[in-house]
């Protein structure tokens, strides 16, 4: 059993005596801003004796409601204070901080240690500055495991929601803030991209009845003898009409409910429909040599026959497996285009790449929301008109989002941004189709 009050975050300022008054004035403003921070119960400052070198010492105590409030304070306000002190006072002010607790534990498994239990580094706060492990020494509970797993999803002030909300309604803001150094409040860009891309492909292509067919009872066949007879009559009528028009020979026969076509090639040779997969050397002779060596007629014929056997299902599965990798390849290509469009921006290539990582993350998120909305509307029998209108508006928001993002991140006027926007969209479409064609080719040669 553990009895514990909220933690206290203690910050000690070692101030050069010549700027003590100026620092005290700044400290008053700092206390007022700290009191506005969520989870802060109280914030007070007091003076203690000067240190042996003659520096003035000021101690600021933050009384916090919970460990979560402490984490948030240290990740946001704590780092901002250090940067502000360094910018304003330089080496004339030094900061030291520590976390104080009033704990009475009976479930300790090890004695309290001033060093990290993982790497041995001396602890100066809630987390180890070397490996990042939390300073708690007791075994975690089942509830803490669940909280760690779903905490970001359930807490409205977590980094998940602080990232997704501006990602949707503030185009380019995440990229702008990240480049300005405001990063701790948001999810890491590539992690967010991978999570949202995985969410999209699960939402779009995961079919529970197909992937988890073991847990579903088989559906009854809907075909009846009556419908089979109707289908046969319709097929026979179509064959008779085509034969009357001279499209098919009159003796086109049927076999086991289907039909097989044999056409006269003019020299007594009969060509059957399945021979459409025949590929000759002349079909690939115009291709570049390095492609022709790989796309041999025999190999192309084998791909065609395998595709016909399963109706293209294996090919489609391979293609869907290749699409995520293809989109990742598209990111650096589009970053090169942005680098060329903004040669005077003094931005590194990685900064342009970050722009498209955030845009693709938004793209996956908006598509996932559209698919979920369409399925929910169908489930609730929502009228088709408002559903389609909502999906159309969301689709038009995607190109608008890209334009606003370019303006916010690169800061140029509407006219110049629009011209570069047109070039970027054209390059994006060309790059997308090129990447998809490569994905199709790789999928075809993988089956």
Q: What is the CA radius of gyration of the chain?
A: 33
| Residue 272 pLDDT class (50, 70, 90 cuts) | very low
Per the structure block, which two tokens stand in for 337?
């285009």
| Residue 382 pLDDT class (50, 70, 90 cuts) | confident
Give mean pLDDT, residues 288-300: 68
Q: pLDDT tens digit string along 414-437?
A: 999 999 999 999 999 999 999 888
What pLDDT, on a 0 to 100 scale, did the predictor assign at position 293?
A: 67
In the chain, where the domains are located: 1-106, 173-204+314-444, 226-277
Give mean pLDDT, residues 341-359: 91
Give mean pLDDT, residues 283-290: 64
**8 A C-beta contact, residue 406 and residue 172:** yes
CATH class of 1-106: alpha beta
- Which residues lie closer than 8 Å to 105 by C-beta, 6 or more apart? 2, 138
User: 109 or 341, which is more confident?
Assistant: 341
List C-alpha distances in Å: 193 to 28, 79, 164, 174, 327.
Answer: 41, 26, 11, 13, 11
List C-alpha distances in Å: 184 to 101, 303, 310.
Answer: 25, 50, 50
Q: pLDDT tens digit string along 48-97?
A: 888 878 888 888 888 888 888 888 877 776 667 878 888 888 888 888 88
Give mean pLDDT, residues 283-296: 65
What pLDDT, on a 0 to 100 scale, did the predictor assign at position 265?
A: 41
Q: pLDDT tens digit string along 131-166?
A: 777 776 555 567 666 666 666 555 555 677 888 889
Per the structure block, which two tokens stand in for 372?
């979920």
Distance CA 99, CA 124 (A): 8
User: 222 or 92, which is more confident?
Assistant: 92
Q: Give percent of the chain above pLDDT 90.
A: 20
pTM over 0.75: no
**8 A C-beta contact, residue 139 and residue 48:** no
For residue 121, give the DSSP letter. P
User: 317 or 178, which is more confident?
Assistant: 178
- Which residues lie closer than 8 Å to 65 by C-beta, 6 or more apart? 6, 39, 40, 41
Task: Give exposure, 159-173, as e/b (b: 16+ Cβ within 10 Å).
Answer: bbebbbebbeeebbb
What pLDDT, on a 0 to 100 scale, did the predictor assign at position 217?
A: 63
What pLDDT, on a 0 to 100 scale, did the predictor assign at position 122?
A: 78
Rounded to 5°, the CA angle 157-161-165 comes to: 125
Q: Average model confidence (pLDDT) for the chain?
A: 76
What pLDDT, on a 0 to 100 scale, did the predictor assign at position 369?
A: 93
Per the structure block, which two tokens stand in for 428?
């994006």
Using DSSP, how many helices (H) and how many strands (E) does the chain show? 15, 10
CA neighbor of 278 nearest in space, from 302, 258, 256, 262: 302
What pLDDT, on a 0 to 100 scale, did the predictor assign at position 201?
A: 86
What pLDDT, on a 0 to 100 scale, did the predictor assign at position 311?
A: 64
Q: Give percent of the chain above pLDDT 70.
A: 66
């Amino acid at each position: 059993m553990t009895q514990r009050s909220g933690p206290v975050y203690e910050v000690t300022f070692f101030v050069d005596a010549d700027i003590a008054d100026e620092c005290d004035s700044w400290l008053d403003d700092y206390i007022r801003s700290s009191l506005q921070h969520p989870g802060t119960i109280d914030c007070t400052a007091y003076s203690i004796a000067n240190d042996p070198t003659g520096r003035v010492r000021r101690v600021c105590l933050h009384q916090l409601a919970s460990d979560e409030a402490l984490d948030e304070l240290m990740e946001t306000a704590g780092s901002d204070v250090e940067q502000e002190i360094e910018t304003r006072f330089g080496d004339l002010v030094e900061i030291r901080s520590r976390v104080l607790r009033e704990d009475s534990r009976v479930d300790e498994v090890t004695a309290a240690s001033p060093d990290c239990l993982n790497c041995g580094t001396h602890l100066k706060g809630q987390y180890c500055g070397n490996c990042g492990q939390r300073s708690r020494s007791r075994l975690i509970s089942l509830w803490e495991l669940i909280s760690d797993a779903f905490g970001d999803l359930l807490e409205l002030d977590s980094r998940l929601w602080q990232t997704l909300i501006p990602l949707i309604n503030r185009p380019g803001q995440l990229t702008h803030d990240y480049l300005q150094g405001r990063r701790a409040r948001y999810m890491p860009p590539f992690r967010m991209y991978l999570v949202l891309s995985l969410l999209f492909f699960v939402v779009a292509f995961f079919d529970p009845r197909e992937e988890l067919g073991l847990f579903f009872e088989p559906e009854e066949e809907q075909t009846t003898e009556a419908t089979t007879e109707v289908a046969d009559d319709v097929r026979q009528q179509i064959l008779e009409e085509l034969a009357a028009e001279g499209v098919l020979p009159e003796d086109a026969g049927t076999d086991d409910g289907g039909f097989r076509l044999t056409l006269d090639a003019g020299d007594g040779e009969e060509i059957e429909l399945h021979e459409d997969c025949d590929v000759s050397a002349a079909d690939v002779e115009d291709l570049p040599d390095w492609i022709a060596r790989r796309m041999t007629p025999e190999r192309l014929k084998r791909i065609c026959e395998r595709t016909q056997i399963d109706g293209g299902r294996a090919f489609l599965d391979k293609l869907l497996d290749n699409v995520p990798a293809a989109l990742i390849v598209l990111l650096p290509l589009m970053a090169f285009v942005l680098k060329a469009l903004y040669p005077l921006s003094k931005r590194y290539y990685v900064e342009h790449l970050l722009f498209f990582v955030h845009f693709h993350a938004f793209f996956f998120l908006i598509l996932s929301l559209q698919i979920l909305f369409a399925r929910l509307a169908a489930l609730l029998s929502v009228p088709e008109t408002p559903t389609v209108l909502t999906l159309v508006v969301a689709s038009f928001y995607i190109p608008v989002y890209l334009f606003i993002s370019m303006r916010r991140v690169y800061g140029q006027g509407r006219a110049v941004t629009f011209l570069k926007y047109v070039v970027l969209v054209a390059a994006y479409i060309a790059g997308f189709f090129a990447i998809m064609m490569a994905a199709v080719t790789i999928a075809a040669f993988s089956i």
